[in-house]
Structure 1
Amino acid sequence: MTAPADLGVPANRPWQIPAAPAVFEARERFTAELDRLWHDGTGRRLVVVSGVGGVGKTSLALDWLDRRSDEFPHGILYSDLGGAREQPPEDPGEVLHGFLTALGSSPAEIPSSLDQRAAAFRTATASRRMAMLLDDAASVAQVRPLLPAGQETVVVVTSRWRLTDLGIDGAQFVDLPPLTDSQARALFERYTGTERLRSDPPAATEIVSSCGGLPLALSVAAARLRTRPRRTLAREAAAYGRWTSTGGSSTDKALSLNAIFEVVYEGLPQSAARVYLACGVHPGPFVSTEPLAAALGRPVGSVEDDVDELIEANLLTETGEDRFVQHMVLHSDARARARTALPGDEQERLGRSFAGWYLDRVLAADEAIHPHRTRYATRARRSKDFVERADGLAWWREHLSVIRAVFSEAAEHDWDDIVWQFCEASWGYFLHHRDYRPWIAMNERGVLAATRADLPLVQARLRSQLGYAYAKVGRYDKATEQNLIALRLGQQENDGPTQATALSQLGRSARGRGDLDGALDFYRQAADLQERLGIPRGVALCRRRQGEVLSELGRYSEAMIELTAAATVMAGIGDAAQHARSAMALARIQAAEGRAEDAIGRLTESLRTVRALDSPYYTAEILTALGNIELQSGREQEGAGHLAEAQALYADGGDAHTGAPGDGTQP
């Protein structure tokens, strides 16, 4: 870039900015935002571009200033303020000395004090139409004395911190996120060359992914490849993958991005640094202040202050109400620092504390979602309850990715007491969402945990949960195996409810294999045992299942007796979901007997019930039954619509459902 031609302005027209990057991924949305702030504003425009280290803040600013160079006839001032360097950042007084000299002041005339230099700078810039780039600012205090007075001036500040207090000075803020996948790949291709990229597309994709959308990381990877023309993409991908997954560093310092964050971390207050390390121990994709406060043993308000400090330093990003995320490279840095800075027992204590906090919330949510079930797990913390069932479901959906991450961490560390409780407490949510693959994997680990913990009844419960899922995906031999073990454990411990659950689940497997008489026998044994134990809901569940099997056998009169009895009990105890499912089975019999209108009316009422429960799986079941009956009755448009909605709900939940009648719920 060259300075614009002389437009009748003073000869002392500084042009200090470095050349714009030769390779740059355009950020149209953010460039347009800078254009708007420059052209639509009045007076001095102050823009703060913030983001994590290496995200491309300086490149964006340089590219924009380069393309707008003709609009700044009085020049462009530039200073690297050194906010991320290991040595102390630039002193604003020294920066002002350089600026004043560039604007034509004699060194001998420049005042000695910061305040006087700032005043002289404002005087020198008052009538200028110019731009400034204050790159990598360390603080508001560093920037404020450097602000010019010109009303036709734009000041672009880049920083790893948000510098929110500059809002008092009229600042506008632009938060620059990492590149999208497509942007990152395009930039990497320009760095490395299309031919090199095409030599191993999967490895190239892995490298791009490992760099986390950071232009700095992509440029480092590309530079290494350019200087090592014989190095394969696969080898480079493996090296980056090791660092990204473990947070480790390479002997080649160019490979490690930890240094990007080193100065920012070292400048944190001790309490905020401690929160940063705790974020590194936290396994989930996002974190909230309450679990951080619980793990650190500090008041929530105090932790909120430190979270604000981390947000200000771009070491955390706020994405919602009390929801904060770390870019994956930052999280890797935090994990690496935690492993180095914290003793092993302290890392485990923090990890178990996080797991305990989420376990308490999972248990509370499960109590609201499925209040009719007895539990072995107990809440130790009792932080707070969910008043409404919908609140528990909403919390669970929002935190599902964190719950799974915390569970995986607990399982990997063999925290058996936490693992089995997570499995039991996940039952209510699972019933309404049915994501079978992760559920099976979860309960397989839960069974191992309960076995190692020598908790036979807990082991039996989790085996029946596992067997339920196996049966629902057609693995009936596996389901039978699990429930036979559960039955044996129940007999060994002389626990009637455990035996009844296992018998009922054995009935499910027999029904799935087509052995309807065998299924009836298991269900009746379970119902008789539940009756002797005085568990009316258990009896009702078994009678509903008997009614469904009798209906499949064409024994409609007997089926109606069982299903009506089950519906009556469920209505009496307030179990709306199971009442609706009993009504669904009754509606199928009505349709089979030629009373389609009665069946449609009953199912329409049941559909309203399950929609109100916010239960995707049970809603899909009712929609399937209703849609099939509507199609059979000539209501093709309504039926097709209901079946399409049902399939969408099944797909969203990860259930490869074919529309066959369901046969049950909890063991």
Structure 2
Amino acid sequence: MDEPPENQTPGSSSSHENRAEGDITSGGIVQARDVEGGVNFYNTLAREPASQVPRQLPGDISHFVNRSSELATFMELLESTSDPGSRHARILVISGSAGVGKTALGLRWAHRIRSRFPSGQLYVNLRGYDDGPPEEPAMALDRMLRALGVPGSSIPDDVDDRSATLRSLIAERDVLIFLDNAVSTNQIRPLLPGSASPLVIVTSRSALPSLGAREGAHRVQLDTLDEADALTLLRAVTHEKREDEESDLTELVHLCARLPLALRIAGERAASRPMTRLTELIEDLKDDSLLWEVLSLHDDSTTEAVRTVFTWSYRALSPDAARTFRLLGVNPGHDIGLSAAAALCGVPARTVRRSLDLLVGAFMVETSAPGRFKLHDLLKAYALSEARTAEPIADLRTSLRRLADWYARTLEEAAMSLSAIDSVASSLDGQDIPDPLSFATSTAAFDWFESERQNLVSTAQAVLSSENHESAWNIVMAASPIYAQHFTFDDWAVMSQIGVDAARALGDPVRYSAALDNRGKYLFRKRRLDEARRAFDDALRLRETGGDERAVCESLNALGLVCLRTRELDEAAEIFRRSASGFRDLGEERWECLALSNVAEAYLENGDATTAIDLVDGLPEVFAGLDDSASQGNALWLTSWGQRLRGNLSAASMAIDAALAIADDANNRMWEAFWLIEAARVHLAEGRLDEAARCCTLAASLQRQIGDRNREALAVNCAGEVHQALGNFHDASAFHQEAFRMQVSAGDHWNAALALANLADCEKIRGDSAKVRDLSARGVGLLEQFSDKNSSRLRRRLITLIE
């Protein structure tokens, strides 16, 4: 297998690794005929994902007042830009000062028109004005593409490629995109569509003038409420339970600078004290205003009005609610769940729930989704300021540590549901950490992980910055198996480096080697093989020095996988044998057999079927006894491969049928998709071309849904071989050309050379000698880096075609 040992994917090899590097937007449609029922291969994502219709809009805002002229303007814009023949993106920018109600207005309109966008709604908080860094376009695109149904393994690395993928996906789809709290044009430009079908709503404190000049965005500058609307909002928030003088209400409106955010908070404060005269509340507010006037270093009257109202309401909170509010300002994430908030505050969930209810009722905390809470960016800045004033630094560090450790423990629970064999146990004692969440299903575990992805990275960065290296290491290592299994490469890139930095600071060789191993796995999956080899080498040296024999064997296996990928096959086989021998001495039967499977694969890649079959003999039964279905199926796949190369097609067919039965019993489409390619090769060798074509079609379709471009290309190339056998050389050429393009984009030069050899064979039959020589020469060039026996055979085949 070519996966590092903690991330076993059955049937992997140096040419079969899942990847995210492919260009999934280019290329056309390949069609093949003359096979029973017809065979059609379409480029990945050429069709809309059938079941992914995102519904990400946050809830509408309560007590929304007027803004009728702006809403009418928006509707006029929508009607005037609804020309189906238009090529220009429809973009609305709502700008204005902090707290003026930009998001509230945008959401009110978005909910009003969402029925016009049946393909769904995407919402991204770009965090342009949070205390942390703004959302990077690459991360925003990752989330948008996943919401639209793109598998993580199919999301390109480069931000421009991600942007192109998004444009291709939504070009003909009626999608509503809400980009909240944008800080600059450069931040949002990669997130924009290239056609008129979608509609984009942007909110920002900046007017973003260049967006209007270049993209033709329509811009609306939002002002504070007029006095009448401000009074209406104030009355709505107080539920009209008070009988106050008009003059007093008007004075309160002016003290709040007619800002909706300040008016909601002030109104709720007044509503919570129905027996207190409004004049008394106004005097309190004026006192706090004087305090801010003394402390202020600038003349931004609206900002000072908001701060004054914040202070006024904050001082009315109960001690528990006030502390919860302060610590929410310390939370590094963009929002927080109830259990995480309990960990942050170090109190039972029921206690923090009461505080959160009070804060929500006072409009000082928002509910971003059921059970999730967040602060407006102005309130978060205020809460953080109060926390730094009222709480000792040591206590704030402890709160962050509790939050990070709770995340680590819950990640362990999620990993047990999602990847039990790969889960990593931390060293947490849990004395002051609330119980982690538990998950009844893997779907529930993954949904939680997805909702917390941004928060996990932000929290790990925060505890590393605060020099709480143990907590940083724990959260990284607990998350690592989920990153590996679900292709969240952007997060894994950041987190794996945090783990290395934290372990280095701890000075613990055991943790440092584990962090290097995790970093190596990330680099390996990204085909940064030289860097991966260095990380694995460094981890191996530390483990050899520390005398941890089991960890040494794991590092050897990881290095063998790198050699398998680079086709240093003799070295790979030797390293795997050392690993297997070490595991045998340790009594680790499963790991010994996994390493022996990898030895067999190295021999098969070198064309030595006899040795490989001897090595794998009996392994399926061992894995069955260990209740390891994945490895059992993988051993059967290796058996089929070896028997097919030896010409024993009956044994090959029996083995691959048994593997596919395992996949069917487990309802595992990933296993089935890969093992179907071997089944197609067996049927092709048997001359059962209709069955071979059926297997290729199903394998390619499944790989496309999974998002594994490299394995999809293997199925496409095999389909070309089927058509060569049928004598359909025109269609065969189309398949091989498409396979070549996909393999090059995935960085798999060996299989790209094989596709070129097959394509050259087709062109030779068709009589295009010049093209044959060109294709063969290109194939020889791709093979220059490889020196194994199979590469030498393929090179000789290509040279013969040139001659």
Q: TM-score, normalised by structure 2?
A: 0.50
Cα distance in 2, alignment partners of residues 58 and 499 from structure 1: 57
Q: Which residue of 2 aligns with 1:604?
A: 660
Cα distance in 2, alignment partners of residues 177 and 198 from structure 1: 16
Cα distance in 1, alignment partners of residues 418 and 383 from structure 2: 35
The answer to whether residue 623 in structure 2 is matched with residue 570 in structure 1 is yes
Among 496, 503, 520, which residue is 1:443 paired with? 496
The answer to whether residue 303 in structure 2 is matched with residue 251 in structure 1 is no
Cα distance in 2, alignment partners of residues 199 and 334 from structure 1: 38
CA gap 1:265/1:450 in 2 versus in 1, 3 angstroms? same
User: Identity percentage over the alignment?
Assistant: 18
Among 661, 673, 682, which residue is 1:623 paired with? 673
Give secondary structure in 2 for the equivalent of 1:285.
Answer: coil
CA contact 1:363–1:379 (8 Å) conserved in 2: no
The answer to whether residue 593 in structure 2 is matched with residue 544 in structure 1 is no
Deviation of 1:380 (Å): 1.9
- Cα deviation 1:442-498 (Å, max 9, x = unaligned): 222212221221211221122222223322322222222122222221221122112
Q: Which residue of 1 aligns with 2:702?
A: 645
CA gap 1:185/1:405 in 2 versus in 1, 3 angstroms? closer
CA contact 2:536–2:558 (8 Å) conserved in 1: yes
- Cα deviation 1:36-91 (Å, max 9, x = unaligned): xxxxxxxxxxxxxxxx953269989x99xxxxxxxxxxxxxxxxxxxxxxxxxxxx
Cα distance in 2, alignment partners of residues 504 and 446 from structure 1: 21
The answer to whether residue 473 in structure 2 is matched with residue 420 in structure 1 is yes
Cα distance in 2, alignment partners of residues 57 and 396 from structure 1: 26
CA contact 1:467–1:483 (8 Å) conserved in 2: yes
* Equivalent position amino acid for 1:439 in 2: W
Higher mean C-alpha deviation, range 599-608 or range 477-486: 599-608
Q: Which residue of 1 aligns with 2:508?
A: 455
Deviation of 1:516 (Å): 0.3
Q: Which residue of 2 aligns with 1:408?
A: 461
Deviation of 1:423 (Å): 2.8
* Equivalent position amino acid for 2:300 in 1: K
Give secondary structure in 2 for the equivalent of 1:311.
Answer: helix
CA contact 1:447–1:459 (8 Å) conserved in 2: yes
Deviation of 1:532 (Å): 0.8
The answer to whether residue 100 in structure 2 is matched with residue 54 in structure 1 is yes
Q: Which residue of 2 aligns with 1:616?
A: none
Q: Which residue of 2 aligns with 1:268?
A: 317
The answer to whether residue 440 in structure 2 is matched with residue 383 in structure 1 is no
* Equivalent position amino acid for 2:435 in 1: S
Give secondary structure in 2 for the equivalent of 1:324.
Answer: strand
Give secondary structure in 2 for the equivalent of 1:481.
Answer: helix
Cα distance in 1, alignment partners of residues 204 and 497 from structure 2: 43
Cα distance in 2, alignment partners of residues 282 and 459 from structure 1: 27
Map 1:232-251 → 2, pairs under 5 A: 251=298
CA contact 2:656–2:678 (8 Å) conserved in 1: no
Deviation of 1:641 (Å): 4.6
Q: Which residue of 2 aligns with 1:429?
A: 482
Give secondary structure in 1 for the equivalent of 2:707.
Answer: helix
Cα distance in 2, alignment partners of residues 398 and 641 from structure 1: 33
Deviation of 1:638 (Å): 5.5
CA gap 1:426/1:607 in 2 versus in 1, 3 angstroms? same
Deviation of 1:364 (Å): 3.0
CA contact 2:179–2:200 (8 Å) conserved in 1: no
The answer to whether residue 567 in structure 2 is matched with residue 518 in structure 1 is no
Among 563, 576, 580, which residue is 1:527 paired with? 580
Q: Which residue of 1 aligns with 2:519?
A: 466
Cα distance in 1, alignment partners of residues 700 and 225 from structure 2: 47
* Equivalent position amino acid for 2:327 in 1: A
CA contact 1:359–1:422 (8 Å) conserved in 2: yes
Cα distance in 2, alignment partners of residues 342 and 485 from structure 1: 42
Map 1:195-344 → 2, pairs under 5 A: 198=212, 215=222, 251-253=298-300, 256=303, 258-259=306-307, 261-344=310-393
Bigger-Rg structure (1/2) = 1
Among 613, 621, 626, which residue is 1:560 paired with? 613
Q: TM-score, normalised by structure 1?
A: 0.59
* Equivalent position amino acid for 2:543 in 1: G
* Equivalent position amino acid for 1:510 in 2: C
Among 544, 547, 552, which residue is 1:499 paired with? 552
- How many positions carry a matched residue from both structures? 465
CA gap 1:467/1:564 in 2 versus in 1, 3 angstroms? farther
CA contact 2:411–2:479 (8 Å) conserved in 1: yes
CA contact 1:368–1:386 (8 Å) conserved in 2: no
Cα distance in 1, alignment partners of residues 640 and 376 from structure 2: 52
Deviation of 1:178 (Å): 7.2
Among 524, 529, 535, which residue is 1:476 paired with? 529
CA contact 2:496–2:522 (8 Å) conserved in 1: no
Q: Which residue of 2 aligns with 1:140?
A: none
Deviation of 1:195 (Å): 7.3
Deviation of 1:185 (Å): 4.5
CA gap 1:197/1:534 in 2 versus in 1, 3 angstroms? closer
* Equivalent position amino acid for 2:399 in 1: L
Cα distance in 1, alignment partners of residues 536 and 179 from structure 2: 50
Deviation of 1:528 (Å): 0.5
Give secondary structure in 2 for the equivalent of 1:646.
Answer: helix
Deviation of 1:518 (Å): 0.4
Give secondary structure in 1 for the equivalent of 2:373.
Answer: strand
Give secondary structure in 1 for the equivalent of 2:336.
Answer: coil
CA gap 1:542/1:216 in 2 versus in 1, 3 angstroms? farther
Give secondary structure in 2 for the equivalent of 1:426.
Answer: helix
CA gap 1:583/1:278 in 2 versus in 1, 3 angstroms? farther
Cα distance in 2, alignment partners of residues 583 and 328 from structure 1: 56
Cα distance in 2, alignment partners of residues 376 and 345 from structure 1: 27
Structure 1, unmatched stretches of 5+, are 1-17, 29-51, 64-175, 220-247, 613-618, 662-667
Q: Which residue of 2 aligns with 1:41?
A: none
Higher mean C-alpha deviation, range 596-605 or range 301-310: 596-605
Cα distance in 1, alignment partners of residues 223 and 665 from structure 2: 54
Deviation of 1:266 (Å): 4.2
Cα distance in 1, alignment partners of residues 303 and 627 from structure 2: 59
Cα distance in 1, alignment partners of residues 487 and 505 from structure 2: 27
CA contact 1:315–1:330 (8 Å) conserved in 2: yes
CA gap 1:215/1:585 in 2 versus in 1, 3 angstroms? farther
CA contact 2:103–2:203 (8 Å) conserved in 1: no
Give secondary structure in 2 for the equivalent of 1:314.
Answer: coil
CA gap 1:488/1:369 in 2 versus in 1, 3 angstroms? same
- Cα deviation 1:543-575 (Å, max 9, x = unaligned): 121121122122223323434544333332333
Q: Which residue of 1 aligns with 2:252?
A: none
Give secondary structure in 1 for the equivalent of 2:661.
Answer: helix
- Cα deviation 1:497-522 (Å, max 9, x = unaligned): 12111211221122222110000000
CA gap 1:573/1:621 in 2 versus in 1, 3 angstroms? closer
Q: Which residue of 1 aligns with 2:85?
A: none
